[in-house]
Copies of this chain bind each other. A is one copy, B any other.
Amino acid sequence: MDEIPASHPRYKSLVIREKMKEYALEGIVAMEGLIAHGRGEAFDYIFGEKTLPSALAAEKVAIAYLLNAKNPVISVNGNVAALAHTEIVEFSRITGIKVEINLFHRSEERIKKIQKLLENDGLKKVYGLSDAAEIPFIESKRRFADREGIYSADVVFIPLEDGDRAQALKKMGKIVISIDLNPFSRTTLSSDVSIVDELTRAINNLTNLYNDMKNMDKEELKEMIKGFNNAENRKQIVYYICKKFDEWNGRDYPY
């Protein structure tokens, strides 16, 4: 790995990029996953690599759903594992949310590697190791779901998802909470709660919010959910981008 100076204005993004590259060489991140990561980078760069107020609002409502859920599950693919395996295991330990591996480029070998990453971080039970149940409406290998996990879940967290699966999970009647930097992706557009934020920041925020909110009254949580307008919240993100662009247009260098 080339040395990245800690003083670099985009230090964290560059360190993450190096990490993604190493996980790709190990076979955990797919080649397509690297390209997808780049698409996310472009949006995060526009967001100034920080959580926008609208993203934090979505994260709060996501925790309200989680606290009201009977069988919540978080889905982990290669990019998610590479970027945030430690953060996700910690989030699961605190909240009790189940963790399920689900891969587009599914192979026994990749599943085992990701399982090992999660178990090394202390996760007791990894879902999605077998391909027993199938989600309807999907043709890709992402259709496989764990009967005790996503298949029967009421609330599903889907970070870095593809649009087909996000829509299929919605059609199955689940509450879908996405984490995706692209405010226009089909995943973002089809979720009940669309968190437009970088994955590790989002999971850290969700962990903190859970601790803040876990003793809240159920009715209060329901009010919070009822008061949230996901489409309007997403629009605020887009307004923010344009405001930023207008600012940048007036300057020579955005960084």
Residues of B within 8 A of A37 (CB): 35, 38
Query: Residue A189 contacts which of B17, B231, B253 (CB distance < 8 angstroms)?
Result: B253
Q: In this assembly, does A216 line the interface, its C-beta being within 8 Å of a C-beta of chain B?
A: no
Kindly state the separation between the CA atoms of A238 and B40 in the bound complex, as whole angstroms.
Answer: 19
On whether A254 and B38 interact (CB within 8 A), knowing A32-B17, A242-B242, A246-B242, the answer reads: no
Check if A170 is an interface residue, CB within 8 A of chain B: no
A108 contacts B by Cβ under 8 Å: no
Q: Does A39 contact B (CB under 8 A)?
A: yes
Residue pair A249, B254 in contact (C-beta under 8 Å) = no
In the complex the two chains form, is A35's CB within 8 Å of B41's CB? yes
User: Are A184 and B248 neighbours in the complex by a CB distance under 8 Å?
Assistant: yes
Per the bound structure, the CA–CA distance linking A38 and B43 in Å amounts to 11
Do B253 and A248 touch (CB < 8 A)?
no
Number of interface residues of A (CB under 8 A): 36
Q: Which of A82-101 contact B (CB under 8 A)?
A: none
Task: Pick the most buried of A36, A37, A41, A42: most chain B CB atoms within 10 A of its CB.
Answer: A42
A54 to chain B, nearest CB (A): 13
Which of these binds chain B: A19-27, A115-123, A171-179, A193-201? A19-27
Contact call A31/B42, Cβ cutoff below 8 A: no
* Whole-angstrom distance between the Cβ of A24 and the nearest chain B Cβ: 6
Complex Cα gap A45–B34 (Å):
17
Q: How far is it, in angstroms, between the C-alpha of A246 and the C-alpha of B242 when the chains are bound? A: 9
24 A-B pairs (CB sep. < 8 Å): A20-B35, A21-B31, A21-B32, A25-B31, A31-B34, A34-B34, A35-B35, A35-B37, A35-B41, A36-B38, A38-B38, A38-B39, A38-B40, A38-B41, A39-B39, A39-B42, A42-B43, A184-B254, A186-B255, A235-B249, A238-B245, A238-B249, A241-B242, A241-B245
